[in-house]
Amino acid sequence: MGVDRAPTLSSGLVASSVQRSSPLSGRRAAPLVLASASPRRVALLRELGFEPEVEPADIDDGALVLGETDARDVAPALAYFKARRVASRRRARGATEAWILAADTVCERDGAVLGKPEDSTDAREMIRSLANRAHGVVTGWCLSGPNGACRVGRDVATIVIGEIEPSELERFIALDLWRGKAGGYNLPEVVARGWPVRCEGDPQTVVGLPARRLAPLLKDALAGRLGDDSDA
């Protein structure tokens, strides 16, 4: 079986790579499918009036060996492959054509990619390594549609975490609040818990999807207007 090659991203915070497709005028509007089981991403989309179908890609990010790879490229590449996986699966079962939105979020510390902790020990060490310093958070996204239309991009934010009390960190670990989260934490949760955190950039990017920024693109796609060469 051949392997899809992800579109190449140009430099900068956001890039788009496209394969032209004709507008879907005269056809039933394709639905929006979110290729993620993340309740945070679902909530972000619903807050903006979107009601996506949810179909996780079921790709184990932790099983991937990334090597010396720039975090700014890892996230959009993973999002691309997640979107392609769901699209392929839907075609195989004859599902309705859809706009498939996938996303992936990684943390970056000194150039190294930090994904989701494997266990509580990994989570503790990961969070400790992020305290008293800044680190980057990259969310890559891919919107794949009927007839091969595709947009890929990324957004980057910087998070500065101060000193975390050891007792608070242990409570956080014991409650499993690190589980399933890039870098071992979720921004709104730790802010609510009183962690000394500052976000430079879009907080939605840190949560997992720059939904407000993507809203015009999603509206154009669902209205059948996506397919020109404009940037995402």
Residue at 1 is within a domain: no
Decide if pLDDT at 11 tops 80: no
Query: Residue 60 catalytic?
Result: no
Residue at 24 is within a domain: no
81-109 pLDDT, tens digit each: 999 999 999 999 999 999 999 999 999 99
Residue at 4 is within a domain: no
Instruction: State the distance between the two ends of the chain, measured CA to CA, in whole angstroms.
Output: 31
Structural domain containing residue 163: 32-222
pTM of the model: 0.79
Please answer whether residues 145 and 30 qualify as being in contact, where contact means their C-beta atoms are separated by less than 8 angstroms: yes
Residue at 228 is within a domain: no
CA–CA separation, 78 and 65 (whole Å)? 12
For the chain, the domain total comes to: 1
Residue at 164 is within a domain: yes
CA–CA separation, 166 and 146 (whole Å)? 50
Residue at 6 is within a domain: no
> Can you give the CATH number for the domain in which 48 is found?
3.90.950.10
14-53 pLDDT, tens digit each: 334 333 333 333 456 799 999 999 999 999 999 999 999 9
Residue at 16 is within a domain: no
In angstroms, how far is CA 54 from the centroid of its own chain?
14
Residue at 15 is within a domain: no
Please answer whether residues 227 and 22 qualify as being in contact, where contact means their C-beta atoms are separated by less than 8 angstroms: yes
Q: Which of 61, 104, 155, 220 is catalytic?
A: 104
